[in-house]
Amino acid sequence: MSFAAPPFAPPHIESSVKRVRVLFGGKYVVDTTHAKLVWEKPFYPTYFFSTSDLNPSYLRESSDNKERGTKVYDLVVGKREARDAVTVFTDQASDTKDLAGLLKIEFSAADAWLEEDERVYVHPKDPYKRVDVLQSSRHVRIAVGGVELASTNRPRLLFETGLRVRTYMPLTDVHVELLRPSDTVSECPYKGVANYYNVQLPNGDVHKDIVWYYRTPQPECGQIAGYVAFYDEKVDVWVDGEKQK
């Protein structure tokens, strides 16, 4: 196993010690304790599997087989199918030689992914990434278009490796009368499923999806339940009286 520090030069491959299952069409099409974590991109991994981990009866050859060193298949279980969902790495082409004999399933194609018995969202959790939520007493004020949206002395700060700090505020310190529910939903492997608010100012201006919250965050971020965060890049932020850039 390599002990190089991230970000990695792709492809970087490590063995996973977790049981990994992939649910599709009511079947666990993969159930293995020998998955590989592969960094195809520098900043987060993807699960790869040995070709023996996926029953070939679930595969149907796709017409999309143009890339040297790979073969693409549709994933088919009964009447359910996901087009071009499986890529098998087949030979020793220079750019894929380390992946020969492995396959990957497009994360979004499956109905669910599980590490042990816990559901995983978006992509596998990176073992080199950490998320901390810390209670703070800094004074944080948020405004947009000259209108105050929130002001608190009890923010919870979320520190996530490689990303900017996010400030979560209790709703009691937010001008909730300016919030309008949005249909937007996003997912994070570390925090869970996020819902959004638009902000409608007294003059009628609407700022879309600049507030989000996690109704039922993942256990490691449970402290942000009931709190909201503002998209700092799209609002004005003051911390202890100093405007942030």
User: Which CATH number is 225's domain given?
Assistant: 2.170.150.40
pLDDT score recorded for residue 2: 42
Asked whether residue 22 is domain-assigned, the answer is: yes
Tokens for 221, please give them: 């971020």
Same domain (yes/no): 138, 88: no
Same domain (yes/no): 116, 138: no
Q: Residue 151 pairs with which residues in a beta bridge?
A: 141
Number of domains in the chain: 2
Q: Which residues constitute the domain of residue 153?
A: 131-243
Same domain (yes/no): 197, 145: yes
Same domain (yes/no): 107, 19: yes
Same domain (yes/no): 148, 61: no
Tokens 């030979």 sit at which residue? Answer: 91
Calpha distance 96→67 (Å, rounded): 11
Domain-terminating residue out of 74, 96, 120: 120
Asked whether residue 101 is domain-assigned, the answer is: yes
pLDDT score recorded for residue 1: 39
Is it the case that residue 3 has pLDDT exceeding 60?
A: no
Calpha distance 136→164 (Å, rounded): 16
Confirm if 198 and 179 have CB atoms less than 8 A apart. Answer: yes
Calpha distance 83→209 (Å, rounded): 31
Q: Is 83 exposed, middle or buried (0-12, 13-18, 19+ CB in 10 A)?
A: middle
Q: Which residue has the higher pLDDT, 91 or 123?
A: 123
Same domain (yes/no): 107, 147: no
Q: Which residue has the higher pLDDT, 207 or 7?
A: 207
SS3 107: helix
Domain-terminating residue out of 91, 120, 149: 120
Tokens for 41, please give them: 């991109």
Confidence band for 5, pLDDT divided at 50, 70 and 90? low
Same domain (yes/no): 116, 137: no
pLDDT score recorded for residue 91: 74
Calpha distance 53→61 (Å, rounded): 17
Q: For all residues of the chain together, what is the average pLDDT?
A: 92
Same domain (yes/no): 150, 229: yes
Same domain (yes/no): 106, 139: no
Asked whether residue 4 is domain-assigned, the answer is: no
Tokens 């109905």 sit at which residue? Answer: 111
Confidence band for 92, pLDDT divided at 50, 70 and 90? low
- Write the CA distances from 140 to 59, 151, 200, 245, integer angstroms: 53, 6, 21, 14
**Overall average pLDDT of the 150-161 stretch:** 97
**What percentage of the chain reaches a pLDDT higher than 70?**
93
Same domain (yes/no): 87, 36: yes
